[in-house]
A and B are shown apart, each in its own frame.
Chain A
Amino acid sequence: MSHPDEGILQELLDGELPPSDAAAVRAHLAGCVPCAVLLRDLAATQTESDAIVARLPLDPPLVKPAGRARPRRALNLRAIGLAASVLLVAGTSWMLLRPAGSYSFRGSNDTSSGLALPMPSEERQEVPATTPAVPPSPSAGARADRSADRPGKAKQAPLEKKETEANVPAAKVTDGPADKDLAGEGRRASDIRPASLPEVSAPAAPAPAAALSAGAAMAPGATMTTIAEAEARLGTRLRTISGLTPVSVEMLPVAADSLLAVRQRYVVSGVPVTLIQASVIPAARDEVTTRERDAARYVDGVAAQPGNRGNGFVASGESGGVQPASRSWGAWGSLFQLRGALPADSIDALMKRVK
Chain B
Amino acid sequence: MTDVGALFEQYYEPLVRMLYRRTGDRDRAEDLAQETFARAVEAPPYNPRPWLFAVALNLVREEGRRSVRRGRHLELIRGESPIGTPAPDEEYIRDEDRSRVQRALAELSDRDREALLLKAEGFNYDEIAATLGMARGAIGTTLVRARRKLVDAYREEGKRHVAS
Contacts and interface: CB of A to CB of B under 8 A. Distances in A.
A291 interface: yes
Contact of A53 (B13, B27, B150): B150
B137 interface: yes
Nearest to B119: A14
A201 interface: no
A85 B31 contact: yes
A145 interface: no
Contacts of B6: 93
A16 interface: yes
Contact of B101 (A14, A45, A55): A55
A45 B151 CA distance: 7
A311 B43 CA distance: 10
Given A49-B151, A78-B77, A298-B76, A7 B137 contact: yes
B144 A6 contact: yes
Interface of B: 1, 3-6, 8-9, 12-13, 16-17, 20-21, 26-27, 30-31, 34-35, 37-38, 41-44, 73, 76-77, 80-82, 97-98, 101-102, 104-105, 116-117, 119-120, 124-125, 137-144, 146-148, 150-151, 154
Contacts of B139: 7, 11, 16
Nearest to A294: B80
Interface of A: 5-11, 14, 16, 42, 45-46, 48-50, 52-58, 62, 76, 78-79, 83-87, 89, 92-97, 99, 124, 126, 193-196, 289-291, 294-295, 298, 301-302, 310-311, 326
Contact of A86 (B34, B102, B120, B142): B34
Contacts of B13: 58, 62
Given A7-B137, A85-B38, A126-B1, A14 B143 contact: yes
Contacts of B82: 289-291
6 contacts: A9-B144, A58-B20, A78-B77, A95-B37, A95-B41, A195-B43
A93 B4 contact: yes
A294 B141 CA distance: 45
Contacts of B73: 298, 301-302
Contact of B41 (A50, A89, A291): A89
Nearest to B19: A58
Given A56-B101, A85-B31, A92 B12 contact: no
Contact of B20 (A11, A56, A86): A56
A310 B42 CA distance: 9
A95 B38 contact: yes
Nearest to B148: A45
A42 B144 CA distance: 7
Contact of A291 (B26, B44, B77): B77
A272 to B, nearest CB: 17
Contact of B35 (A78, A84, A194): A84
Contact of A124 (B3, B35, B38, B154): B3
A114 to B, nearest CB: 35
B125 A11 contact: yes
A295 B144 CA distance: 40
Given A45-B147, A45-B151, A78-B27, A196 B77 contact: no
Given A7-B137, A58-B16, A52 B38 contact: no
Contacts of A126: 1
